[in-house]
Each structure stands twice: as C-alpha cells, then as structure tokens.
Amino acid sequence: MGKKKIAIIGAGIAGVTLAYALQRSGQFNYKLIMSDDAEEIRNGRIRSTQVHFERLLQTEARYQIQDYGDASEIKSIELRINGQRLFEGNLQGRAVSQDQRVYLSSLIDGLQACGADIQKARLDSGDLAGLAESFDLIVDCTGKKGPLASFPPYGQLLNAPMSPQRMITGGMFHGLAADNSHRIGFYLIPGQGELFEFPTVTKYGPAHALLLEAVPGGTLDRIKGNPGPEALAKEMLAIIQGDFPHVYERVQLDAFRLVDPLSSIRMAIQPEFRIPYTTVNGTLVIGCGDSAVLNDPITGQGANAASFCANALYEVLSSSADQPWDIIVGERYWEATKEYMTKMSEWTNAMMGPPSQGFSAYIDKASKSQESADAFVQLFTNPVTAHAAYFS
C-alpha cells in the first residue's frame, strides 16, 4: 500500500505550514495547489497585517520553516483609551512582524527548493469532486476567499454578530517615527473603534503597520470605498491627526506614504464559524484556518490560529496514518481544535462590543501594576486564557 495522498488548496499560513509539516515528515504525499505563485504574492497586494506570536514561531522551528529574512521584534503592547496611556505590558515570549508578502513567498520558495509538488490553479467548488477521486484527503486552506467545501455552520457560539462590526483599513507606511521600535500600540476610542500600530519589515526595509478598525457609521469611519494609495495615506493621516494626536506627533509629513501602491487593504469581515470537516463523494475534506473560522483581526489571531490549526491537523493525520481517513478523522481534528477556536472567536467577537465588567476590572488592575500589565498583554498570545479573563 502506497503513501496516502493529500491535496492542500491554498498557500496562506495554514496551507504552507501544513505543507512544511508534511514535507519534513515524508510520511505522506501531498500537492499544494495555489491561485498565485510566489512571485505574484511577493509583488501583489497585502492580505493583512500580522504579528506572529511565540506559538507560531515554535511551530516554524518544529517544521524547519524556510528562513524568511529580517522581521521586527515585538516585545510589548501599550494600551491607550481616548489617548490616555494606561499601561505597557511586556510579552513573555518572542513575537515578530514582517510583510506577509515577503513571508509567504519566501516559504513557498523554500518548498519549491525541496522539490515539493506545487500547482498553480484557480479552483472552485466544482473541482472538489475531481480531487476526491485522486486524493485520500482534501484540505481547504482557501482563507477569507473560501471555503470551497460546504462545511456545516456551528450554531453554539456566543456573541456571534450578524454583520461586520468594523470597517477595516490597513497599510504599511513610511514616514512614521518610532517612539518604541519593539511595541504594538493598541489605541481605543470606546464606541468608535481602534487603531493598532506596530513596526514591521517589508522588502523596502523597516516600516510601520497601521490597522484602523472603525465602527460602521462612527467618527472613525471616514474612509470610503477603495481610494488610491495617495488618497488613502491622506485620509489615514487626517484620522490620525484628529483622533490619535499622540501618533500624529511622530508623523514626518513630507515622508508619510504607503511603502508601495499595493501595501494597503480595505475590508469588512463577517465573522463565520463552521464545523471544519465534511465529505465530497466519500472523501474527507477538512477546513484549516480562515476557510473554516473567520474572525475580525481586532485580537490579532488570524495567522496564529491558522498555524495552530495546521499543526493540530498534522498531529491528527500522523497519529491516524494507518487508519482510514474518514469522518472519524475529521471529528478528531474538530475535537483537537474546538476549544481553541471557539474561545478565540467568542473572545474576539466580544472585544468588538462594550468590555465586560471583569475585563474592565482587569484593565484597571493592569494600569496600577506592572505585573498585571504583563499578564494582560500575554492574553493576546493565548486566546483560551484570554477568554477566561474576559468572561470571568
């Protein structure tokens, strides 16, 4: 009996991480199918702004992920509410930020150098039946654009919004001086939204990522449509000047601009939670990452959750290597990821509304104690403990 065969659809964090796990183990044959090749990703539009926390970095080390070059080290998170600085907490583990276009294209280059079976193709749901005839497992890693498979909805989630709760504008900018080159800034205006600021590294060198999360119809929701790069930078600057003056103080007006015309993103995310397995013509299909569970980026969990799911899926497949890959294996994957993903989603959705009484008390405590501030920011690295803190 030959090795089992796996089709991975999508080359985001989930798909590429799983590909490295399979490549290093040699236990199974796999094909990575992606709509854009490494060069197109490298020179394309950003899909998000990201911070990779310690768990993701440990997974990289486990699977000997390709060296992707320089990244900004993130060591702390500062919280401000209505411009007032409440505290800055220190992260216990390592965290980094890099332009995802550089990151993903580097990792795909590494897989190609290892002789991985990679195919460029744009698939739709109608292609799944054909794949089901040739593979023992299909993994849907199609991200925000997906899923291709019809995963059943999970209806037991708390705080599940029925519409997007934020209008999102993100970009990587030159012309913003760093007051701390290793810090995430988390700036809240209650009832209106949030601004996140952190250093990152692009192919053009160091830059600053800004992610504006505006409550629809609120005072921060002033960027409309999809403006061009110059217009977007101008509109972002106006919002910073009016609503985040402590950031505006560091702007170099003659240099403030996007690092390139495609280094911005505009979106509104409708959170979705699906049970991450189904079958197509008797072949198991598993959803991994955003294709199964999609959340707003307010808690910074997307890439980290995708990596977590890919690692969990590899563990399930490895331990089931000599068994049929049927619906029972899908259930094992669901059980391995259910607590993490449900608590991450419930916490993330709750963070877009008024803070709970317990969470408000935690913020107050963190503003008075460095030890508590350090514990507070550590919540962003572990959504299970964050959920417990928020709903306590």
Provide the CATH number for the domain around residue 330. 3.50.50.60
pLDDT in tens, 280-318: 999 999 999 999 999 999 999 999 999 999 999 999 999
Q: Is residue 383 part of a domain?
A: no
pLDDT at residue 382 in the model: 97
pLDDT at 229 over 70: yes
pLDDT at 1 over 80: no
C-alpha to C-alpha distances, 254 to 169, 174, 205, 237, nearest whole angstrom: 22, 10, 18, 12
pLDDT in tens, 38-63: 999 999 999 999 999 999 999 999 99
Q: Is residue 171 part of a domain?
A: no
pLDDT at residue 197 in the model: 98
Number of separate domains in the chain? 1
User: Averaged over 212-226, what is the pLDDT?
Assistant: 97
Question: What average pLDDT is seen over the chain?
Answer: 97
pLDDT in tens, 330-371: 999 999 999 999 999 999 999 999 988 989 999 999 999 999
Q: Is residue 360 part of a domain?
A: no
pLDDT at 180 over 90: no
Q: pLDDT category, 178, cuts 50, 70, 90?
A: confident
Q: Is residue 339 part of a domain?
A: yes
pLDDT at residue 6 in the model: 99
Q: What is the percent of the chain with per-residue pLDDT over 70, rounded to a whole number? A: 100
Range of the domain at 337: 5-52+101-160+271-352
pLDDT at 142 over 70: yes
Q: Is residue 207 part of a domain?
A: no
